[in-house]
Chains A and B, each alone.
Chain A
Amino acid sequence: MDDEKAAHDSGLNNVATRRRALMLGAIGASAIVSVRPALAQSAASVLNCEIPVPGPHGTGMNIDAYGQLVPRDTPGSFPTSGVKFTGEQVKAAMQGRSLPGTSYDESQAYVNYIRRLQSGQSGFTCYASLQITR
Chain B
Amino acid sequence: MVLLIQPLDAMTAIYHRRSGITHIVSEPVPQILHRMGGETLTSDEIVERLRVDFDFEEIDARSLITERMDEMAALGLLVRQHV
Find out whether the CB atom of B60 lies under 8 angstroms from the CB atom of A27: yes
| A22 in contact with B63 given A15-B7, A68-B79 (CB within 8 Å) | no
In whole angstroms, what is the CA distance A17 to B19 when docked?
A: 29
Which residues of the partner chain B approach A16 to less than 8 Å between Cβ atoms? Answer: 31, 34, 53-54
A1 at the interface (CB under 8 A from B): no
**Contact-residue bracket for chain A:** 35 or more
A8 at the interface (CB under 8 A from B): yes
> Which residues 27-79 in A have Cβ within 8 Å of B in the complex?
27-28, 30-37, 64, 66, 68, 70, 74
A14 at the interface (CB under 8 A from B): yes
| A31 in contact with B54 given A25-B64, A70-B82 (CB within 8 Å) | no
Of A8, A16, A33, A64, the most chain B CB neighbours within 10 A belong to A16
Find out whether the CB atom of B63 lies under 8 angstroms from the CB atom of A15: no
Find out whether the CB atom of B82 lies under 8 angstroms from the CB atom of A64: yes
| A19 in contact with B25 given A14-B7, A24-B65, A64-B82 (CB within 8 Å) | no
- Select A22's contact among B7, B22, B54, beta carbons within 8 Å: B54
In whole angstroms, what is the CA distance A19 to B50 when docked?
A: 10
Given contacts A15-B27, A25-B67, A32-B72, 13 further A-B contacts (CB under 8 A): A11-B12, A13-B34, A15-B34, A21-B54, A24-B61, A25-B64, A27-B67, A32-B23, A32-B75, A64-B82, A66-B73, A68-B79, A74-B82
Closest 8 CB pairs of A and B: A22-B54, A24-B64, A37-B20, A118-B18, A11-B5, A12-B34, A35-B22, A33-B24
